[in-house]
Structures are given as C-alpha cells and as structure tokens.
Structure 1
Amino acid sequence: MLSRFTGAAFSEHNGDVSTLTEFSFLDAQAQALGVPVPPVERLMLTLDDGRTLSALRFGEGTPQVTLLHGAGLNAHTWDATALALGLPALAIDLPGHGDSSWRDDLDYSAPAIAPDIAAALRTWTTVPQVLVGQSLGGLTAARVAAQHPDLVREVIVVDITPGIDTSHGPAILREFYAGPTDFASRDDLVERALAFGMGGSRANTERGVFLNTRVRADGRVEWKHHLAHLAATTFAAEPAANANAPVLRAEGWDDLAAVRAPLTLVRAAQGFVTETDAEEYQRRLPGSQVVVFDAPHNVQETAPRALADLARTRLSAAVDTSL
C-alpha cells in the first residue's frame, strides 16, 4: 500500500485526529530539513510461525540502508533520518513494536528477534545493507551481521554497548510505564509524557504519542508496543524470576566480535554510552570506529541529519571498496 502524506500535525487539529494518518507528519519534518518527501510504503511480512513483521520503505528502488529502532519505539522514530538520508531505506518495526506482532514468549532480546530481521532483509532487500541500529536495534544489528554476513555491508551501532549501565534511562521508563496502560485520550498520554520530561517539545511528544498508540474498540487509547503492557517488569534484571517479564538484556560482545563488516559506534554525548564504555568498546573491537554526536540517546530524532550523513558516507565507502 503506497500512501501519500497530507494533513497537519496533531496539535493543529485541536485534538481531532480523525483526519490524521501515520504519514501526516512527514511534510513538516521534510520542510524543516529542506528535503522532499519521497514515496513511503507500509510493508507487512507473514513469518513462518504466523506472526507478522511490519516496516516502512522510503524511496523507490531496493533499500540500501536498513534502520532498527530501540526498545519501546517504532519504525517512525527514523522518519527524519530517512528523509535526510534521501536514499531508498527500510525502517523495521521490531517484534512486539509498532505494527509487528507481539511475541508469546516475551523474548525481546537480540538473539530472539534477529532471525525475524534476517527474514525481512531476505524478503525486502536485494543488496547487502548498511544496517543502522539504535539501542536494542544496535545489538540486534550486530547479531544479524554476525550470523548473516551476506545481508550486511556495514553496521552502525547507535548509543549502546553490551553491559552498559542504563539504570537512569530504564528507571525513568519503568516509572513512566508503571502507571496506566490505557488512557481516555491521547491528550492525557501527552500530558503524562511531558510531566516525566519525555519527548522534548509538545509537538514532538504529540507526534510520538500518535505514532506509538492505537485506539481500541472501546475508545480507550493504548500503547502499541508490548513492553508498555508488561509495565512493572519491563526492565527486570532477571526476567526468569517473573513469568510476565520480557527478556530484554544488554548482551552481545560475542556478536560484535563476530561481525566481519565495517563497524561504527555512535556515542551520544548525552546518552547511555559513556567515554569509559566507548574505550572498552574500542579495546574489545580495535578495528571498529567511534564517532561522538552532541545528542541524547534517541540520536535518530535529535540529530537526524548527522546520522543520515554518516550512513550515506559509510554506504559510499562500502560501495567504493566493493568496486
């Protein structure tokens, strides 16, 4: 289904979102970046076990860059980066997020979800990808590259290394999601997010809430991603201790070491990866590169042009070396 993008932002509708679609925000984002809006298509893939995996395809032609988001986000977190990139790109909803199916086993670790991403790449791409993954998506990208080297040209891991101390970020998220899992309106959820200091500006928060929620048959608004519905145990250190806790661990040094494609770590200066973490990363992976962006953890939303430029540069370098 190829969709066009018209309509104003959420706040400009005075709370009436009946005319909004998931693409209604792209025009304003493209104008802010000074770039055109490419064709964007929502893709759906039925996996072997009957679950579905969803993604957004930006531009025409086979994707050259694939984007994997972090826990609790969805493919639309990459909208600005994909627009700034200006190349055919694929942004995938990780399992349990966005329009992709939830997992019955609650396992959202990189080893569990990487096979789904590999299946998507084999279905939706025809050339090895520059694989860009943020947070959980970064660990997943490393796993995919380690186990399916034919699918990956380069790997860019954004603000995550295995075993880093993410206690501050998850503590805020744990408290945020420990509240109600459904709301009378999106406005209520926007106010809650702003009260927790999440989302940045009101406009950004409204966009994020709209794209990461759905309206149930009873009229209540709920989060799309599964983790919010497992609120109290979403970031449990030992998921096995609670049957309702998802598996969501920072692990993956072996995967990173097994990656044979060029590997770059993006450290967000106000994010989760500290200078010490980056030094440990380079000690373990001496052939990789580290770049630092002046941005918080969600680099793809706050520094989209810089991240797009990096991906474009890495793609060009990879193409040159393959000639």
Structure 2
Amino acid sequence: MTDANPPPESESRPPTETVTVSQVADLCAEIETNVADVIVGHDDAIEHVVTAMLARGHVLLEDVPGVGKTMLARSIATSVDCPFSRVQFTPDLLPADVTGVNVFNQKTREFEFQSGPIFANVVLGDEINRAPPKTQSALLEAMEEQQVTVDGDTRELPDPFTVIATQNTTEPNRTYDLPFAELDRFMKKLELGYPNPEEEAELLGRTVGHHPIDSLEPVTDRETLVAARETVANVRVETPVREYATRLVGDTREHAHIGVSPRGTIALLRAAQARAVVNGREYVLPDDVQTEAPVVLPHRIKTAGRDRDGATLVEDALERVPVE
C-alpha cells in the first residue's frame, strides 16, 4: 500500500540560498516547537530527527506500536512543507511498488515510467520489517546514492531526500530482520518509549477530540531546508575532532564481531555538524560527537555474545577513548 505526492522533476533541484548558522539554529527550534504541538514528551527524539535531516541522513524509529512513531514522521514532513509519501510495508509488497515501474502506453506505443512513492522529499517506511529483504533492498541505492535504477535507467531522487522508517518490535514471528547493509544506511536509530503519566495526560487532552496533526502548519519550505543542509555541510570539523571520532569507531572494531564501518564514521561527523549548528556554532566539538554517538553507532555493531550489545559497547568506548 503506497501513497505518494512526488515533486515535479524540474523542481527537484532548487537553487540554494545562503542561510547563516544562527538562522539554521532558529529554524531547528521552530520545527521542534511545531512538532511538539503534536508529539508529547519526546523532545530529544524530535531534535534527533531534525538534525538527521539537516545532516543528510535517514532515521529508523524502533518501538512498540502506538507510541507515536508514524505521527512523528508525519509531523516533521508537515512542518517543513515537503512532498511526503508513505509506504505501508507488507509481506506482499514488491520492489517496484516502492521505486516505480515502466508501463506500456498504448497510445504512444512506448514505455513510460510511473514513479513510486520513493520519489518524495520525506518518505515514511511504515513497519519496514514486515516486508521481505528483497523489497527492503529497494531502498539501498536510494538511501546511499539518492537515486534509483529501474530496468537499467537511473533516475535521481528529489533534494532533500530523507527516509524515516518505523520498525515493529513486538511480533518477531511476523517480521524480517533488516539486512545489515540497510541498517548501516540509517544515520540514527531511535526509540521513543512510553510517556510518563503527566505526558500521557497531556497527550490525551490534545487528541481525544480533534487530532493536532490535522491543524499543523508548516514553519519553513523545501528551499530553505536545502539551504540549511548546505550550511550544516560547511561546518568545520578540525583534525583533532576527526581523529577522536576515528579512535571511537576503532575501539568498537576491537571489541565487537563487526564494528562501525567508515560509513558510520562519516554519519557520526555529519550528525555532529548538525549538532554544532543547533548549538549555534560553525565548528564541531568533541562534545557534539559524544552527544550523537549513542544514536548513530550502536545499530552498526554486531557483538559476538549476548551479554553486551552495541549500546553498551559504545558507552564503554566513550569512557575509554580520551579526547586529545
């Protein structure tokens, strides 16, 4: 089941404006405040999703049903006024249902490409692990290279392009494990958790009648988001910070069956760039790396035993590896 509203191809590469670091920081705050009108009690998760978008990354939301994963993705997309599509992953979903397919036009006697829901700025992959690995693999090229190849023809995806996927954790017998190569393409993996009693009472007060998502308004547009991403990409990452990040991921490789890949190191520093901008800086500090490491690195690690998971290994690395 899919729902797409892709932007016209001519509009997929808007001209880039100049946006200052302080303007991007203010923009992040506006988006987070806007989304918080819908999502109660998950301010950290909201900020992580916003910074991932600014850092040209994708997000995996893993938790039990009903805690707001899908609503968070919808709220983010609405707040930035970007073309949004939703793919409901099911066992019978085919790769072509995601990427699109060539269809023969009887009038022109030619094949025409009908784009799939992947051709949107924000793509929600709902319960992504309900689809078999073959269908999940349709996302690999899109998430890494921002393009898709169908019948030998390669087509660029719109800019910006962000996948926000949700994962069901309660029915292991009815779901598939995500391929490790796909996990590695998600910049961040987040868990929302249950709200506390006060937060849940506030949530009920907002949603028992009309849901606030129905009246949510955008606070920025696609062109501004593209410009903001360019500002984040230009944030300075000096040699000592790069070396610190390298030592962190190196530590995971020494203590795990599979440690963090170079793609993971790149994701960590890009996330740190976005974190620096949120804090109003044009340069990355080790503190930015340390803040992002717990959500960027653990899902890229495979441990040999069950006594330690990726999150514990990253915590240990942050304690062991000195900042020099």
TM over 0.5: no
Structure showing the higher strand proportion among its residues:
1
Larger RCO, structure (CA 8 Å, separation 6 or more): 2
**Structure of larger gyration radius:** 2
TM-score by length of 2: 0.28
Structure showing the higher helix proportion among its residues:
2
